[in-house]
Structure 1
Amino acid sequence: MNHAPARSPRVRPPVTVVDIDLARPGEFRLPGDGGPARPQGRARALVRLRGRPLGMVSAGDTSGPEGLWRALADTAHLELAGQLADHRAMDATGPSDPTVRHPTSRRAPVISVVVATRDRPEKLRHCLRSLLRSTYPAYEIIVVDNAPAHRTTEVLVRSEFPGRVHYVREPVAGLARAHNLGLGRARGSIVAFTDDDTLVDPGWLSALAGTFAHDPRIGCVTGLIVPAELETEAQTALELQGGFAKGYVPRTWSLSDPPPTDPLFPFTAGRFGSGANMAFRTAALRALGGFDTATGAGTPGRGGDDLLAFFEILIAGHTLAYQPGAIVWHCHRRTTDAVAAQAFGYGAGLGAYLAGALLRNPRRLPALLRRLPGGIRYAMTRSRARGADPEAGWSRRLALLEVRGMLYGPCGYLRGRLSGAGTGIR
């Protein structure tokens, strides 16, 4: 692929990402509860009401933080009026939302948090610090160092987080392999996964645990992913494309209650969430054999390990839930080259996932073929709608890269399998 030269210019004007709660006027927080903030100029805010996320809004004000907070609040009341009404109605009927539950250590299930990393110690340091600010009472953190070039990550974990973070090393490259090693070491009845370039919300684990507790049929929970920074043109472009966000309304999917508006269900696993914010009942994921190691970053397949796991969880009869109250802040890639590579990787991961789903059980092919005509019509309608909206930042070049990735994905998956990759927990 021929990409434009890598660049990471500053957005003009700069955009500061902050976290605000309409119930706490005038208060700004940094992503991942990194502390109080006093932003100036233009900002993009995750807006909450008593902890529940409603959406993201942008505003600018030159009169200082107080004026900026008022501008963001006014924009939120205008753009998020429906969500505000819904959440106020929920408050009137009682705290049924699992994100507002606070389990005690006596009854809280242990959650094992797995963070796979490779030679990014500074990003990992920030991620681990955010995890250790969690309000959840019972969790462990497992760092899986995946095919490292040096011992920097090991030194970081053992010197800065002794007794608080477990370190293990997976010598063979591949995100699925790293996750499987973490899964094999997990002691918790729930295993959660995030990436080393994220900051997790202090209530992330509580929201995950509350969602699992709400329904024993739930085998997997995914959560909201919002940007941790918007400092370059590439980061802003990715966010305008839709970023990683899957919305602010809790949802569930199951084979017994298929969504009427999704003609490709359950093959549209990309709609369910992302690997940067996912959790499983440990026994359910182990029963599937963990993640398919012919998929994922670091393999010829480039990705798709999370999508294939979501799909297999549904096929096994479990319910998959999306909980926007389980919040992770993601550090988007900073250069145009990186965003282009990411678009290709998304497509490749989708192609690899579909190839894996069919090769693992060829009897699924007729079901997929029956759904394809409706799925193609649905995709074309969405593409036309996005292309007609200049504010969406839709890029034909990125769309073509994603399509190329989808075409490459099955070949990448087969290359991974032929090179000796397979399934299984280590």
Structure 2
Amino acid sequence: MNGSDQRTAAARRRPAARDSFYAPVCVVELDLDEPSELRSPGGLGTTAPVGRVLALVRLHGHPLGLVTATGTAGDSATLRRALVDAAHRELRVPALPSTTPVARPGQVDRARVPAGPPTVSVIVCTRDRDAMLPRCLDSVVRTDYPGAEVIVVDNAPTSDATEVLVRSRYGDRVRYVREPLPGLARARNRGLSIARGAICAFTDDDAIADSRWVDALVEAFRSDDRIACVTGLVLPAELETEAQFVLEEYSGPSRGFAAQSWSLRAPLDDPLAQFSVGRFGMGANMAFRTDVLRALGGFDPATGTGTPSRGGEDLLSFQQVLTSGHTVAYQPDAIVWHRHRRTMEALAIQVRGFGVGFGAYLAAAVSRQPSLLVKLVRRLPYGLWRWHTSHRFGARPGPVDGDTLRGLRRLERRGLLYGPFCYLYTLWQQRHVRAGG
């Protein structure tokens, strides 16, 4: 067994009987303004689920939190009442008439957004996923925001299937462009280079956008001219396999349902915030002022999925926005639903990639601004202590045991150690290709 096999096996050692704990959970949306129906993620249709249900609760369009209940066949009314009761019991549901908008800190009310909203380009990068892509693009082209430009970047495809799909199914509603060199950062830069919007929003081909996703991103930008990057809430589109349950337990929606923002103009509440930018958001749900992102040089092509660096291009962009004097904001009203990896083997590879990508991001940040190395070394003891204490998985009420979670943490930690070397190797590899070509 080679090293990769050992890492994968470490994450999947568990009793065979454990599979019985992972009965599928149906993910739905419940709007308290219209509690008579449940909708599928992204609002792409109504549903009458049976069995365990996880519901995102909204009021006046704003997400309040998640609740669970169990449904039975032919009795959807009882399930809806149970979910409504759980929402009032477990969440802060404002006792306001339905015509009164709920205030959100840091958010501009839609009624206060002036006429002439900014143009937006939505960029979706993909590679050989023509079977998965339509659900993402269907949700994006149906968003409420008027005139949003949608760009699909086909990254080093092995066939013309994606091009045929986009041109035949979406016509002039979606722009198709091909990036021949592999790497998510390169693909995103290709989309950035042709984008016409004042704001560029990015999501993944395995995500489903909420109908108000673009609206919510724009509202955050309009609330403060100093905001140059906005991230949003990422929720599971499905919970059907063990790996999907484990990922939610391991790194679920920890950013919560309250708007936040970060800037170096005021002291940060976390001494590691300048480096641990993963708390800001993730690449599946992020947007930038186009001129700012271009001025920063776009995404570092030596980072990202599709390169030995395995990731980190989103983290580096957040860090660059922050250190260049702008504000990064988290807007929970901007929701995308993500389809997680379905197998434990794929999850183990993904989690190790999290670590490699984070290490690559740190190396890239220091290489761009060497003075950061001193700050990073000074904060290293605190960072290691927090890493350890924040992931001490003990007894849990759910089926995901501490051994599984600790095994994933070990994979991520090992990946972190390799990350800087992977970044340097990617730089060397790309320079070698340029020199030879």
Deviation at 1:373, TM superposition (A): 2.0
Residue 57 of structure 1 aligns with an amino acid whose one-letter code is V
Distance 2:176 2:188 in 1: 13
Q: Deviations over 1:101-159 (max 9, x none)?
A: 16889511110010000000121111000011110013100100000010000000011
Which residue pairs with 1:234 in the alignment?
A: 243
Partner of 1:370 in structure 2?
Answer: 378
Of the three residues 79, 85, 102, the one matched with 1:68 is 79
C-alpha distance after superposition, 1:343-395 (max 9, x if no partner): 101111110000100111211111111222222222222123x4354547541
1:352 maps to which of 360, 365, 380: 360
Q: CA deviation at 1:21?
A: 1.1
8 Å Cα contact 1:41/1:61 also seen in 2: yes
**Alignment of 1:159 onto 2:179:** no
Match of 2:286 in 1: 278
Q: 1:93 to 1:40 in 2, by over 3 A?
A: closer
What TM-score results when the alignment is normalised by the length of structure 2?
0.90
Corresponding residue to 1:119 among 120, 128, 133: 128
- The residue that corresponds to 1:192 in the other structure is 201
User: Shift of the alpha carbon at 1:78?
Assistant: 2.2
Q: Please say which of residues 25-34 and 108-117 is displaced more in the overlay.
A: 25-34
Query: What are the ranges of 5 or more consecutive residues in structure 1 without an aligned counterpart?
Result: none
Matched, 1:304 2:312: yes
Question: Equivalents in 2 of 1:308, 1:49: separation in Å?
Answer: 34
Q: Distance in 2 between matches of 1:43 and 1:224?
A: 19
CA distance change for structure 1 residues 180 and 421 in 2, over 3 Å: closer, same or farther?
farther
Query: What is the aligned counterpart of 2:59 among 16, 25, 49?
Result: 49
3-state SS, counterpart of residue 298 of structure 2:
coil
The 2-side partners of 1:201 and 1:406 are apart by: 33
Following the alignment from structure 1 to structure 2, what is the Cα–Cα distance between the partners of residues 316 and 356?
15
Where does 1:164-243 land on structure 2 (aligned, <5 Å)? Answer: 164-243=173-252
Q: Which residue is 2:119 aligned to?
A: 110
The aligned counterpart of 2:418 is 408
Number of equivalenced pairs: 418
Structure 1 position 16 matched with structure 2 position 26: yes
Alignment-derived partner of residue 131 in structure 1: 140
3-state SS of 2:39 partner = coil
Query: How far apart are the structure 1 equivalents of 2:108 and 2:151?
Result: 24
Partner of 1:387: 394
Share of identical aligned residues, percent?
51
Instruction: Give the SS at the match of 2:158.
Output: coil
Match of 1:141 among 146, 150, 174: 150
| Unmatched 5+ stretches in structure 2 | 433-437
SS in 2 for 1:39: coil
- SS at the partner of 2:93? helix
- Cα deviation, 1:136-183, whole Å, max 9, x if unaligned, reads 013100100000010000000011111100000001100000000000
Residue 420 of structure 1: SS of its match in structure 2? helix
Q: Is the 8 A contact 1:293 1:421 kept in 2?
A: no
Alignment partner for residue 329 of structure 1, among 322, 334, 337? Answer: 337
Q: Is the 8 A contact 1:108 1:138 kept in 2?
A: no
Q: Distance in 2 between matches of 1:279 and 1:269?
A: 15
* Residues 24-43 of structure 1: CA deviation (Å, up to 9, x unaligned): 22210111111111111211
* Paired letter, 1:255: L
| Conserved? CA contact 2:236–2:340, under 8 Å | yes
Q: How far 1:46 moved relative to its partner?
A: 0.8
The answer to whether the Cα contact below 8 Å between 1:10 and 1:232 also exists between their aligned partners in 2 is no
TM-score (norm 1): 0.92
When residues 270 and 306 of structure 1 are mapped into structure 2, their CA distance, relative to the original with a 3 A threshold, is: same
Letter of the 2:394 counterpart = G
